Amino acid sequence: MNEMVEHNEEKVLKVCLLAGRIMMESGAETYRVEDTMTRIAAAYGITEAHSFVTPTGIIVSLQGVSPTQLVRISNRTTDLEKVARVNGISRRIAGGSLDMDEAFVLLKELESAQLFFSNWLQIAAAAIVSGSFLIMFKGIWTDFFPALLIGGVGYTSLLIIQHYTKVKFFAEFISALVIGLMAFQLVAIGVGEELDKIIIGSVMPLVPGLLITNAVRDLMVGHFVSGLSKGAEAFLTAFAIGAGVAVVFL
């Protein structure tokens, strides 16, 4: 009987850790990850579940004989579709329509799923966003297409450098540098007019908006470790972008 209980608790622990890891790697807030794991454990009959989540690791301890387990978070990106799907699976678990084995299989399939938009679609979206932000910041319409071109090229350089170097801050620095250089060149040959508006609009796809939002939300609910660490990551990202543009001006 004890072996059966221990086996069930081990399964619950695996489901909780897998769900939490997918959410953290996809850009979810810390408090949402902890709440989801607690609800999953409660749905499977474990009322005493404790978790400690940071941007780099998840520690979960369940009531009973199962030991505490740790999972490392090494890759973090933005994939809110996966966060939404994990929430959907947790709701089905809470509703009693999924047992532990079925939930684990669904989560493993979701973990390996590639839900990102294609690179070309991301580049096109970044280009349109760049031009739209230029207009929002009261730029002139003749600068719309230069900002659109520069924003697309800047985001392309970000994707390429991230693919080969795996160093996020370096990729953002080089991308901002490329954006600044292109803006200067286009203004110099008369294609663009307002240099500052073109650069501001073009770097907006690089701005860490989700990181800043998650940092504030985690701080508001009392997760100070995660909030401060995400805030520091957002600050470093903003610094890399600003440094890239500043080098061009210098």
pLDDT in tens, 19-51: 999 999 998 888 889 999 999 988 988 888 888
Q: For residue 210, what pLDDT band results from cuts at 50, 70 and 90?
A: confident
Average pLDDT on 191-196 reads: 88
Q: What is the mean pLDDT of the chain?
A: 87
Nearest-5° Cα angle at 44, 38 to 46: 60
3-state secondary structure 50-112: EEEEECCEEEEEECCCCCCEEEECCCCCCCHHHHHHHHHHHHHHHCCCCCHHHHHHHHHHHHH
Element (DSSP H or E) covering residue 211? helix 209-220
First to last CA, the chain: 72
pLDDT of residue 109: 92
For the chain, give every domain's residue range: 2-112, 119-249
Average pLDDT on 87-106 reads: 90
Element (DSSP H or E) covering residue 129? helix 119-136
DSSP state of 79: -
Q: What would the two tokens of residue 110 be?
A: 């979701």
What are the strands of the beta sheet with 49-54, ordered from one edge? Answer: 49-54, 57-62, 69-72
pLDDT of residue 79: 86
Decide if 126 contacts 155 (C-beta within 8 A).
yes
Residue 3 has pLDDT above 60, yes or no: no
Residue 65 has pLDDT above 70, yes or no: no
CA gap 172, 182 in Å, rounded: 15
Q: For residue 5, what pLDDT band results from cuts at 50, 70 and 90?
A: very low
